[in-house]
Structure formats: structure tokens, C-alpha cells
Amino acid sequence: MSEYTNFHGDDVAPSKPEEALFHVIPVPYEKSVSYGSGTAEGPAAILAASCQLEVFDGKSTPAQYGICTYKPVDCSGGHEQSVANIKDAVLQCLICGKMPVVLGGEHTVTNGVVDALVEKYGTDFGVVQFDAHADLRESYEGSEFSHACVMKRTFDKGIPIYQLGTRSYCLEEHRLRLGRNIPYMDAEDIDREGTDAFRLPADFPEKVFITFDIDALDSSVMPATGTPVPGGLTWFQSMRLIDSITRQRTCVGFDVVEYAPMSGLHSTDFTAAQLVYNMMGYVSRSKGVRGLFSIS
């Protein structure tokens, strides 16, 4: 799939950048996937499926706050140039005082997003990570910029992180989490204790960016990803956790990454698009976001 459409297609007229709360930024970056491939096709598939979404999400109409869809970020060059291009696109949104909604692409995409957020906010924000994997390796397959290292690169920048739904990580990552007091709630903890037990630490920053690796979802819900892992989050566990984050803190943007479309299985395209739109709904209904972005 190579054609890109506006998020929600003809159902929602594209807003001017200065009038749209949500700036949807497709990033077809795929350079270090280590098992299944296809994440470069994820953004276009999500956008195409978004045309089938209901504008009313069951609670509100997030589209009423405006959606502006960017042209896909150029990821044809090397890693450094591609990440710089991602940073520039996200920074363009942040300078407008709007909310970036980034569609990956492999998880390395988040490196460029975090670089833009650092330029905007310094280190006065945290990252809440939904993921099957910790992504805290120092390097993987010879690269410090592998998708398996993205949260280590974020942590190295002095950005606090909180991990949700994790269930597959190496001993190096396990020791780092314990040794550096990186907070987390593994998928097994969530299953045992319930989503109501989730609380961000008291000293976690007020502003948060949510990075949602789609393999955080159980592989029975979302098989279309490079490294699916059983025992993941259910749909409604994920929704309750997103809702909780937006109630506890002020979300300044989010990404959805690692979606790899499967030919003939359009239900996963729709699930990924619905996830994006539901996240728009939760953040637009939250008190912190409504105050920060002056929406009513």
C-alpha cells in the first residue's frame, strides 16, 4: 500500500494546521526490524482504514477539534537524516502549539519525536510506553538505534519513562530497570492486579508523551506486528490505561508504532486506526489537555 489519505478520509474535512488540534504525521520508517517486516506500510494502512471509522467514538467526537494530516516524512535516507526529518515534522507541529499524532513505522521513529519534544519542553516531560518489549538494550544487532534500543536512547536523554504491558525482555534490560528504578507494570501484573492498580509515580512529570507499540496488545487481538508476544493487553485494558494516564497527567502527544499490515486481514488495519482515534478521544476529553490547548 503506497497511497496516503487524510485521517478519517471524506468524513472529516481536513483542517488548516493552525486550526487543527491533532496533527497526524505518517512516518514510514523501517530500517532495523529483526523478525517480521512491513512496518513501513503501517501509516498508509492506518490512514486508509480510518476512512471507515465512525466520527463519534462512543463518548465524544474528537474530530471536532480538527485533524490535519501531513505528507509522509521522507525516510529514504540513512538513519540520522530520517530521524532529523521526523524531528523537523514534529517540531513544526509543536511550534504551532498543536498535538503530534505520529504513525509509524518501527519504534525507532520515537527517537525523532523525543528529540523534537526535548527542543520544545527540555526534559520537563515523561514518556509512558505501551510495549511487549522493554526496548532498553544498549545496542542490538550492531546498532544503538535499533527498534530494540529506543527507550534506552530516551532514558539516556534524562527523560523519565514508565513501561506498561511489557512481558519480553533480556536480562540486561531486567537489571537496568531494577538498578535504575525504572517504573513498570508488566502485562502479568496488570492481569493479576487490574488496571485500577496503575498509578504513575508522584514525581513523574506533569506532561507526558504516550508511545504505543502495537505489540503491547495481545497477539490474539493484534497479530499484525513484527514480533508478536502472547499474554498481552486486551483492548479494554488498554483503553482503561490510556484513560487513566490522561486523567493523571497532561498528554502532549502520542505515537502508534510497529503496525505491520497483513494482506487480507483488514480487521487489524481497522483496529490500529480505531486505537489512534480512541486515543484522540481520551486526550481531548481530559482536563489537562483542554487547559493546555485551550479547547472547549
Supply the pLDDT for residue 2: 46
Report the mean per-residue pLDDT for the chain.
94
Percent of the chain scoring above 90 in pLDDT: 86
Supply the pLDDT for residue 60: 97
Q: What is the distance between the alpha carbons of residues 173 and 189, in angstroms, rounded to a whole number? A: 18
Strand partners, 143: 140
**Phi first, then psi: what are they for 209, rounded to 5°?**
-110, 135
Supply the pLDDT for residue 4: 80
User: Span 162-178, mean pLDDT?
Assistant: 96
Residue 88, all three cell numbers: 523537523
Residue 32, all three cell numbers: 532495523
Residue 123: partners with Cβ closer than 8 Å, 6 or more residues away: 157, 158, 159
pLDDT band (50, 70, 90) for residue 33: low
25-289 in CATH: which number?
Answer: 3.40.800.10
pLDDT band (50, 70, 90) for residue 286: very high
For the entire predicted model, the pTM comes to 0.95
Supply the pLDDT for residue 38: 87
Position with higher pLDDT, 83 vs 295: 83
Strand partners, 212: 130, 256
Note the pLDDT tens digit of each residue in 109-138.
999 999 999 999 999 999 999 999 999 999
User: Span 154-175, mean pLDDT?
Assistant: 96
Contact 276, 234 (CB under 8 A): no
Percent of the chain scoring above 70 in pLDDT: 97
* DSSP helix/strand/coil, 129: strand
Q: What is the DSSP string of 222-268?
A: ---BSS--SS-B-HHHHHHHHHHHHHHSEEEEEEEE-B---TT-HHH
Q: What is the distance between the alpha carbons of residues 81 and 79, in angstroms, rounded to a whole number? A: 6
Least confident of 20-29, 31-40, 254-263, 279-288: 31-40
Select from 67, 75, 137 the least CA-distant residue to 106: 75
User: Span 8-22, mean pLDDT?
Assistant: 92
Position with higher pLDDT, 295 vs 188: 188
pLDDT band (50, 70, 90) for residue 296: low
Supply the pLDDT for residue 1: 40
Q: What is the distance between the alpha carbons of residues 84 and 111, in angstroms, rounded to a whole number? A: 9
Supply the pLDDT for residue 285: 96
User: Span 15-38, mean pLDDT?
Assistant: 88
* DSSP helix/strand/coil, 198: coil
Residue 31 has pLDDT above 90, yes or no: no
Select from 104, 90, 98, 59 the least CA-distant residue to 251: 98
Parallel/antiparallel/unpaired status of strands 99-104 and 22-27: parallel
Among left, alpha and beta (phi > 0; psi -120 to 50; other), residue 31 is: alpha
Position with higher pLDDT, 295 vs 81: 81
